[in-house]
């Protein structure tokens, strides 16, 4: 029988439920258990696909094309699990499903209510992750205890835990134990009140994980145990790590969190195998060299908008035992002057939507091309590479994407062939994993070391094949295409130290132990710059 772990949060948002959940999953897998993970988000959007990164951070895309919360990136990177459409549910997705069935008459005329219909739908979503061969499902509940939006999810897990029976489902509550500098002590009251909210709706956490800046003293631990109704040994300290989020699994292992969870679930506490993680952490904490990368984007004030890219840099750094210092530069600030790029060893231009910042991205790419600075363009970044080359090498001054200028005389980037003539809004995006065939002898083929790859996409505009012959003749070579050759997936400049663009999002496939070849290639070139 599959066991279930529910992770809730209290006091404030942003405590790191996703990293804690992913770290626990890794530790359980290191003891030989198969784990599935999922995230429940209480907002009414059906998915985060239409949300601004300022609202929600990056949109993470799974192999099956599901647009999801960025925490699923932590799940796949830390725990090595494969996420899909059963891994992320929102209130909007739950309510939409219930309403659609009500319209079809599936409820036989019954009054559709929050209980039991919405909560039943949530419980069905939890069960959807319990596939054959899965020992443990970890379900993270977004938001914090007390949020009105989260109440249906909390009620559903209360029911689920009771129905599953003792030892088959547990609740772990992540909370904050702040240090108040003015009085010189840590305060447990916020955690007590958070847990009290859960108690009031019938949820009694089995374990308390306490985020803190300083070690928790015995007195505070006893208070938390007494007033939160949690055994003393189930109060787990999760102190802020000093250097990297990749320190979290080791910290939780030292606290014995995974062994205690297995005991709560009535599962054997098998030997833990963490040698690989210790090797990884040693390379994170003791780099032998470093390089500086400039990332030119339109959300420079929000690192979460490019979360997977930053993690991919970390993975490449692990592989090369190097520290990668990445600065975010606002694309609009480079439109007239690219001198801010001086001193950087490499440049990355990420994906995105909309015209804002395009001129700055194009200017940065020209600077990288002309100054021989290693450069990687991702999705929109690759499209900007094509636009820049068409304007400044082919001489098509008004070359553009029809996303930004529908009337351009030289639409080097246009709707995907099958989408031309269709509105740019709606279900026109290419989402999820698609195969790509690499050109023999190309830099792309050298980096990957294989002929065909699979990468995740999220876009609706493409390289326009009408300009392919001119661009290739002028030096911007094609490094990869769809298997039928109709869609250009990668471009590159053979005479440049490292100048390559991809239509897909390589950051979604990078992992700590298997860094993505394009990021490794960029960092290696930057180290040699």
Give phi and psi for 400, each to the nearest 5: -165, 180
C-alpha pair distances (Å), 263 with each of 168, 169, 495:
11, 12, 59
Q: Which two tokens stand for residue 328?
A: 């975010």
List C-alpha distances in Å: 246 to 39, 241, 280.
20, 9, 8
DSSP codes of every residue in 327-356: EEEEGGGGSS--GGGTT-SEEEE----SST
Q: Active-site residue 505, yes or no?
A: yes
Long-range pairs for 310-314: beta carbons < 8 A, 24 or more residues apart? 311/73, 311/77, 311/507, 311/510, 312/506, 312/507, 312/510, 312/515, 312/516, 312/519, 313/519, 313/523, 314/244, 314/246, 314/284, 314/512
Query: Are the CB atoms for 435 and 482 separated by under 8 Å?
Result: yes
Our CA angle for 411, 415, 419, nearest 5°, is 145
* Catalytic residue of the set 117, 315, 507, 516: 507
Q: Write out the DSSP string of 440-473.
A: TTSHHHHHHTSSEEEEEEEESEEE-GGGHHHHHH
Evaluate whether 387 touches 395 at the Cβ level (below 8 Å): no
Element (H, E) at 251: helix 248-254
Residue of 56, 315, 496, 505 with catalytic role: 505
* Whole-number CA gyration radius for the chain: 25
Choose, from 379, 384, 436, 502, the residue flagged as catalytic.
379
Nearest by Cα to 42 from 135, 140, 142: 142
From CA 453, how far away is CA 449, in angstroms rounded?
10
In angstroms, the CA 83 to CA 36 distance is: 8
Active site residues: 379, 505, 507
């Amino acid at each position: 029988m599959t066991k279930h772990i529910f992770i809730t949060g209290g006091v404030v948002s942003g405590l790191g439920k996703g990293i804690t959940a992913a770290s626990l999953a890794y530790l359980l897998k290191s003891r030989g258990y198969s784990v599935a993970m999922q995230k429940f988000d209480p907002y009414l959007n059906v998915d985060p696909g239409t949300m601004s990164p300022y609202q929600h951070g990056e949109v993470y895309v799974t192999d099956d094309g599901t647009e999801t919360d960025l925490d699923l990136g932590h799940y796949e990177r830390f725990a090595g699990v494969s996420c899909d459409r059963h891994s992320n549910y929102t209130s909007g997705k739950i309510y939409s499903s219930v309403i659609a069935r009500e319209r079809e008459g599936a409820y036989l005329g019954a009054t559709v209510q929050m209980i039991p219909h919405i909560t039943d739908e949530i419980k069905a979503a939890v069960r959807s992750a319990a596939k054959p061969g899965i020992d443990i499902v970890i379900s993270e509940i977004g938001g914090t205890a007390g949020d009105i939006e989260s109440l249906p999810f909390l009620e559903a897990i209360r029911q689920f835990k009771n129905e599953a029976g003792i030892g088959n489902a547990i609740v772990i509550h992540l909370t904050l134990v702040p240090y108040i500098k003015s009085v010189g002590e840590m305060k447990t009251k916020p955690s007590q009140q958070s847990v009290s909210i859960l108690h009031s709706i019938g949820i009694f956490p089995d374990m308390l994980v306490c985020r803190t800046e300083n070690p928790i003293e015995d007195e505070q631990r006893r208070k938390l145990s007494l007033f939160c109704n949690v055994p003393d040994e189930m109060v787990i300290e999760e102190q802020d790590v000093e250097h990297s989020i990749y320190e979290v699994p080791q910290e939780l292992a030292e606290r014995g969190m995974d062994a205690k969870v297995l005991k709560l679930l009535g599962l054997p506490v098998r030997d833990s195998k963490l040698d690989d993680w210790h090797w990884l952490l040693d390379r994170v904490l003791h780099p032998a060299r470093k390089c500086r990368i400039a990332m030119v984007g339109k959300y420079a004030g929000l690192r979460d908008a490019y979360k997977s890219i930053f993690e991919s840099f970390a993975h490449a750094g692990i592989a090369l035992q190097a520290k990668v210092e990445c600065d975010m530069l606002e694309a609009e600030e480079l439109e007239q002057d690219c001198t801010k790029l001086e001193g950087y060893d490499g440049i990355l231009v990420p994906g995105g939507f909309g015209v804002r910042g395009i001129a700055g991205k194009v200017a940065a790419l020209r600077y990288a091309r002309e100054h021989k600075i290693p450069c990687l363009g991702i999705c929109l970044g690759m499209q900007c590479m094509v636009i820049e080359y068409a304007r400044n090498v082919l001489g098509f001054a008004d070359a553009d994407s029809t996303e930004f200028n529908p009337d351009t005389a030289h639409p080097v980037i246009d709707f995907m062939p099958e989408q031309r003539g269709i509105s740019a809004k709606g279900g026109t995006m290419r989402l999820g994993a698609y195969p790509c065939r690499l050109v023999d002898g190309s830099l792309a083929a050298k980096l990957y070391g294989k002929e065909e790859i699979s990468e995740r996409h999220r876009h609706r505009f493409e390289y326009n094949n009408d300009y392919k012959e001119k661009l290739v003749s002028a030096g911007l070579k094609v490094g990869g295409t769809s298997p039928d050759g109709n869609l250009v997936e990668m471009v590159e400049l053979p005479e440049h130290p490292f100048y390559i663009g991809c239509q897909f999002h390589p950051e979604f496939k990078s992992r700590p132990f298997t860094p993505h070849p394009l990021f490794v290639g960029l960092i290696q070139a930057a180290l040699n710059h």
